[in-house]
Chain A
Amino acid sequence: MTFAQAPHVTLAQAPHVTLAQAPHVTLAQAPHGFLSPTGVEIAFLLVGLVTFGAALVTVTTRQLVHAALWLVVTLGGLAVEYLLLTAEFIAWVQVLIYVGSVVVLLLFGLMLTRAPIGRSPDADSGNRWAALIVAVAAAAALVWVVVDAFRTTWIDLDGPAAGSTEATGASLFQNWVLPFEALSVLLLAALVGAIVLSRKAKEESSSPPVNARGVTKSSRPVTESSDPQVRANPAEQEGTR
């Protein structure tokens, strides 16, 4: 497959030519086989398996809260993978933001939308099989291309960590200051937007939107409902359907 080879060659040849005299340059003279993995690779593979399995459970489980918890495992596994790739800062950020805040947010969301506790038989929609086909096809295509392209590419993990806090911080505040500041504005906008959207709109219940069908019947604020029967009711309705 020449397409995949072409970048490989240029990327590999460029250092090879420029660093021809350097003895530690690896690409040409140190072929690494898949059948003799290093320890880091074995660790990566095992953690990767756990991560992928957790991800699979996340998207297939019928218990909504469990899905969120398995998502924690997936994201944590990813953090470990970052560590193995020597990107320690990213790994901690991953743990802090994803495991710490995003998943918590999601759990809150599940509760606020009266998600059923326990197995809900209709967690997957009707187009599950189409989704499966698309996903498998995409996975096959991607894996095929990626494996074909990067079969021989080797990451040298020795030496100073590529993603240490120092290196990352220096890079971020030397080269990426402007996007970083722009991102802060984006976060502020998202904060304001989320507040506006999730605020209980008083006037909404008195004058419902025109295009929303059945609004007047169901526009009662969700949080006011304290009856557990009501919370379970939509799921029952959908289950019996």
Chain B
Amino acid sequence: MHLAYPAVLSALLFCTGLYGVLARRNAILVLMSVELMLNAVNLNLVAFDVWLSRAAEETLHSGQALTLFTIAIAAAEIGIGLAIVLAVHRNRGTADIDKLRDTAEGHGTDTPETEPGTEKAEATA
């Protein structure tokens, strides 16, 4: 099999995940996109490992081992990430990345946007 196939697929998946990370508003969707990017990397690692183990008789299987590590770390990451998102949501009433603008310069545009929404939620509760 041509190495180009998994490599190109990996690149495309990575960029798809990249788009998701940059474009999605909900934090959990962003986490999903991060998973996509990680999986693209994994595919790359596996493909190159298979190629090298045959072509260069490399026996360490470093690519596959690293893939396993990546999967484990991704699992840990998703757990921690979700916990953070939950904590933010509990504090702010939202998981929208757009509204987490505490570091904005000057008068943040989030204040007038956030306050009425949360107040209304408060009022109707």
Contacts and interface: CB of A to CB of B under 8 A. Distances in A.
Given A163-B46, A172-B65, A234-B94, A218 B32 contact: no
Contacts of B16: 52, 55-56, 58-59, 135
Which 6 A-B residue pairings sit nearest by Cβ, starting from the closest? A131-B22, A59-B20, A190-B76, A218-B93, A197-B83, A139-B15
Nearest to B11: A142
Chain B interface size, under 10 / 10 to 19 / 20 to 34 / 35 or more = 35 or more
Nearest to B111: A213
Interface string B73-94: 1111111101111110111111
Given A59-B17, A142-B11, A175-B65, A197 B87 contact: yes
Contacts, number: 343
B3 A153 contact: yes
A6 interface: no
Contacts of B91: 204, 208-209, 212, 215, 218-219
Given A128-B23, A153-B2, A234-B94, A102 B78 contact: yes
Nearest to B55: A15
Contacts of A214: 92-93, 114-115, 118
Contacts of B64: 87, 89-90, 162-163, 168, 171
A155 B80 contact: no
16 contacts: A59-B32, A64-B26, A71-B32, A75-B39, A101-B75, A124-B23, A150-B7, A155-B51, A168-B64, A171-B65, A175-B65, A190-B75, A204-B91, A213-B111, A234-B94, A234-B117
Interface residues of A, number: 122
B116 interface: yes
Nearest to A168: B64
A103 to B, nearest CB: 8
Interface in A94-141: 94, 97-98, 101-102, 105-106, 108-110, 112-115, 122-128, 130-132, 134-136, 138-139
A147 interface: yes
B49 A87 contact: yes
A238 B1 contact: no
Interface string A194-223: 111110100010001101111101111110
A197 B62 CA distance: 34
A9 interface: no
B105 interface: no
Interface string B29-53: 1011101100100110011011101
Nearest to A200: B90
Contacts of A12: 55
B1 A78 contact: no
Contacts of B14: 138-139, 142
B50 A233 contact: no
